[in-house]
Amino acid sequence: MTTWRIAVGSTRRPKLNAVSEALLGFGPLLGEEITLTTCGYEVASGVNHTPLSRDELMRGARQRAEAVAKLVYSLREEAEYFVGLEGGLDVVPENGRHRVFLESWAYVSDGRHGHFGCSGSVEVPEALVEAVLLRGKELAVAVDELAGTEGVRDGQGAWGWLTRNHITRQESFRRAVVAAFAPFYNRERYRASTAARA
């Protein structure tokens, strides 16, 4: 039995749990004789604390994966995959106004190739939009204030608060990780797509 390390660019429990839970589902598709272990590392995203566009979310996820790869190599450690996770807001023009959505993004790299995955979106209420976009509050702080709680980021997250825990922060990142890993655990489908375009 071979052990593969999955290096994650975060030490926050919901993110690490999301990766571990995703791996339980599709891990056997990466190889039947492989055991997967998740290791978290604190790295910077290189973007705003609360990203405010899809571009910034994707950039933050990718930069976290690249930063964790660089850190792992500098520590003379090894990993098979590097995972960056980023959550924040996406502002979308629609019918003459702007709608704001909460999204969670993942970027997964094997050191040579990388792929993105997204959780989907949930629309953000106006009070939260005003707190974050107009008053410049960090998303987690704004949710804590509106919900009358503390530490929402390390628990249900804004996702859980908005969906009454039908989708938590951890679940949103799990979905993003499953999607980002798809080209690795479903290689034959992605190879077939590339060959068909050639």
Q: What is the pLDDT of residue 21?
A: 97
Give me the amino acid identity at 107. Answer: Y
Pick one of 3.90.120.10, 3.40.50.300, 3.90.950.10, 3.40.50.920 as the CATH number of 2-119+172-197.
3.90.950.10
pLDDT tens per residue, range 89-126: 999 988 888 899 999 999 999 999 999 999 999 999 99
C-alpha span between 91 and 124 (Å, rounded): 10
- Percent of the chain at pLDDT > 70 equals 95
Question: Where would I find the H helices in 123-186?
Answer: 126-129, 139-147, 157-163, 169-185
Answer yes or no: is pLDDT of 193 > 60.
no
Q: What is the pLDDT of residue 147?
A: 82
Q: Which of 36, 30, 29, 27 is nearest to 3 (CA)?
A: 36
**Entry pTM:** 0.91
Q: 137 φ, ψ to 5°?
A: -75, 150
Q: How many Cβ atoms sit within 10 Å of the Cβ of residue 164?
A: 8
pLDDT tens per residue, range 19-52: 999 999 999 999 888 999 999 999 999 998 899 9
Q: How many Cβ atoms sit within 10 Å of the Cβ of residue 24?
A: 11
pLDDT tens per residue, range 56-98: 999 999 999 999 999 999 999 999 999 999 999 999 988 888 8
Q: Would you place residue 157 in the very low, low, confident or very high pLDDT band (cuts 50, 70, 90)?
A: confident
What does the domain layout of the chain look like in residue ranges? Answer: 2-119+172-197
pLDDT tens per residue, range 43-54: 999 998 899 999
C-alpha span between 162 and 147 (Å, rounded): 10
C-alpha span between 10 and 65 (Å, rounded): 10
C-alpha span between 21 and 170 (Å, rounded): 9
Greatest mean pLDDT range, 64-68, 129-133, 194-198: 64-68
Q: What is the pLDDT of residue 175?
A: 97
